[in-house]
Amino acid sequence: MKPQVNNQVKQSGQPSGDIKKLIGRWEYRSTEGNIVLSVISENTLVYDGDQVYYSLGNGAFNINGDYGIVSYPYTLSGDNLTISFPEGYQLTFRRSQKVAGGQATAPQKSIQGGNVNQLYGKLCFYSGSSSTYSSYSRMEYIYFDGNGRFQFWKETSYSSDAGLAYGSDQDPNYVGSYSINGDVVMMTFDSGQQNTLKVYMRQNNGRITELMYKDKLYATGLCE
């Protein structure tokens, strides 16, 4: 069974000097399946499809779990990253990409041009937090039709002792067109607003499955 990392967060603490070496895409391979760990920034990573906020300190990824801070000690040796899990076992991940300029770049097939059919389907971003008394989550969706048009919407939920609140925003103004130029996706809303996203993951067949917008990861694997 694959280990699970709690996605509740701790965003305090000073970044470790290892961060430049950690940023990137790491992969653990076994006969039971592969696990991908993408360290995006000094406080955001994606583990096995789940976006997690963390802090670095004392040679460990520190994540706020149900019973307080949980530490995942790690060691770096060249392109190998070994992480110790609280359950008592270790996994060794191997770097599957190089890092340039402190930014993670996913391994991609060299495909030039701007075919919009390389980007289709739904890509999602998730964030959330919880405490003893309440929890909050936010999900954003971008649907690309493969023909140059997209739709964006978001959903939020909040629960506490007082009850549950849910909201969905599917504003008709959140639609527009998109184009692809190499590893850059330009989204132009019909209202005139433009956003530039970077390709973070491209499959061997050319399909784009992960995009980065600032520090947000939109991925097919994050969609429910």
pLDDT (tens digit, 9 = 90+) per residue, 33-91? Answer: 788 888 888 888 888 877 788 889 889 999 877 677 899 999 999 899 999 998 888 99
Q: Among residues 17, 37, 34, 23, which one has the least CA distance to residue 105?
A: 23
Q: What is the mean pLDDT of residues 179-187?
A: 92
Q: Residues 125-142: pLDDT tens digits?
A: 988 766 566 676 788 999
Q: And the tokens for 135?
A: 């929890």
Q: Which residue has the higher pLDDT, 166 or 138?
A: 138
Q: Which residue has the higher pLDDT, 132 or 220?
A: 220
pLDDT of residue 134: 64
Cβ-based neighbours of 154, under 8 Å, separated by 6 or more? 138, 139, 140, 141, 168, 169
Q: Tell me, what amino acid is at 215?
A: D
Q: Under DSSP, is residue 125 helix (H, G, I), strand (E, B) or coil?
A: strand
Is residue 2 over pLDDT 60? Answer: no
Of all residues in the chain, what percent carry a pLDDT higher than 70?
73
Task: Go through 6-26 and write b for each residue having 16 or more CB atoms within 10 A of its CB, e for each that does not.
Answer: ebbbbeeeeebeeeeebbbbb
Q: Are 169 and 73 contacting, i.e. CB atoms less than 8 angstroms apart?
A: no
Q: Among residues 71, 70, 67, 75, which one has the least CA distance to residue 22?
A: 75
pLDDT of residue 21: 87
pLDDT of residue 40: 82
Radius of gyration of the chain (CA): 18
The Cα 97–Cα 154 span in angstroms is 31
What is the Cβ-side half-sphere exposure of residue 93, based on CA atoms within 13 angstroms? Answer: 24
Predicted TM-score (pTM) of the model is 0.51
Q: What is the mean pLDDT of the chain?
A: 77
Q: What is the mean pLDDT of residues 111-124?
A: 77
Q: Which helix (H) or strand (E) holds 165?
A: strand 163-169
pLDDT of residue 53: 84
Cβ-based neighbours of 101, under 8 Å, separated by 6 or more? none
Is residue 104 over pLDDT 80? Answer: no
The Cα 52–Cα 50 span in angstroms is 6
State residue 63 phi and psi, 5-degree precision.
Answer: -125, 135
Strands (E), 29-162: 35-39, 44-47, 50-53, 55-57, 60-65, 68-77, 80-84, 90-95, 99-100, 103-104, 120-130, 134-145, 149-160
pLDDT of residue 7: 38
What Cα–Cα distance (Å) separates residue 32 from each residue in 37, 38, 79, 211? 16, 20, 22, 27
The Cα 219–Cα 114 span in angstroms is 20
Q: What is the mean pLDDT of residues 174-179?
A: 91
